[in-house]
Amino acid sequence: MIVTLTPNPSHDRTVTLGGPLERGAVLRAESVLSQAGGKGVNISRASVAAGIPSIAVLPAAKDDPYVLELLSAGIDCRPVPTDGVLRVNITISEPDGTTTKLNSPGPTVTPEVLRELTASLRRRAASADWVVLAGSLPPGAPVGWYADLVAALRDTGARLAVDTSDAPLRALVERLGDAAPHLMKPNGEELASFTGGDADLLESDPAAAASAAATLVERGVETVLATLGAHGAVLVTRDGAWHATPPPTEVVSTVGAGDSSLFGYLLGEIRRLPPARRLALAVAYGSAAAGLPGTTIPQPTQVRDELVAVRELHLVSGE
């Protein structure tokens, strides 16, 4: 089972344009798609679709339309009551696959809500294969809350994965000595944010990305899955490093592709596949998601991991 935390859930609205986005112009949308979103929720969606039980923990009123949508989709949702209206994130999608995101901050959480979320995760972690902490933190949450959660959940027996960015990511990296998760999933820009490297280089050069990811492994993280957009992804563990190239994909929307990649890796781990095959499954899931509109999560029948090419990387110490 996979337990997910989405501390800052959102109603995701995707506006699809028939032509390029023009600032200051009046544009007509071809379609508008609204879905209950958030990184952890996306992983729970993928998990349920693949037949892996999942519980989604998040702050929301139990009768919020967001929660009701998840329940109607067959997702076991365990909301923790909170005040405020859930945020709305808007994605503008252009015909060439370019996406522009407008993310709102979300309602402020109280210390009581954070304590209840922590307690909810602890109650369910003992029966989980993985607990995934994913997405941005809401206003009111301490920047180091993910690090606090990792430290609080390490004695539950569950394996812990974290996918976040910006200040919460940097705070977690600073606490790897006592709060290293089993798995982290940065992208090239996020790798650069704490290594000081060039984001464009890390995105386009798998060896450079793997070397940056290896610094996390050296500091206690067991596995790093670094997604590199059109350049695929790299996987780094204590036993080696691999790069996977995605199959040709007509990109429709990149929103949710990273979440799908993370699920693909977790699915491979639950199936006890070797590292290279886990990486192939991760990239296949991400590519399938990129070919779908909005934050649509791919069904297993849409995932073609046999089309993903994987090669081993040989990193030089200190590279």
164 in Cβ contact with 146 (< 8 Å):
yes
91 membership: H or E segment, kind and range: strand 87-93
Nearest to 59 by CA among 149, 121, 16: 121
Cβ neighbors of 67 (< 8 A, separation 6 or more) are: 60, 61, 77, 79
Residues in a beta bridge with 93:
16, 99
Q: Given 3-state DSSP classes, what are the helix, strand and coil percentages for the chain, each rounded to the nearest 5?
A: 40, 25, 35
Angstrom distance (rounded) from CA 188 to CA 56: 27
Active site residue 239: no
Residues facing 89 on adjacent strands = 12
Beta strand 183-184 with 223-227: parallel, antiparallel or unpaired? Answer: parallel
CA distance 75 to 145: 25
Amino acid at 140: G
d(CA 82, CA 292): 32
Other C-beta atoms lying within 10 Å of the C-beta of residue 276 = 18
134: amino acid identity, one letter: A
Q: Read off the tokens for 26.
A: 């009046």
> Would you state the structure tokens that stand for residue 226, as one six-digit string?
């670094």
**Considering 12, 64, 259, 305, which one is annotated as catalytic?**
259
- Cα 151 from chain centroid (whole Å): 20
Q: What strands lie across the sheet with 99-102, from one edge to the other?
A: 29-37, 10-17, 87-93, 99-102
Catalytic residues: 259
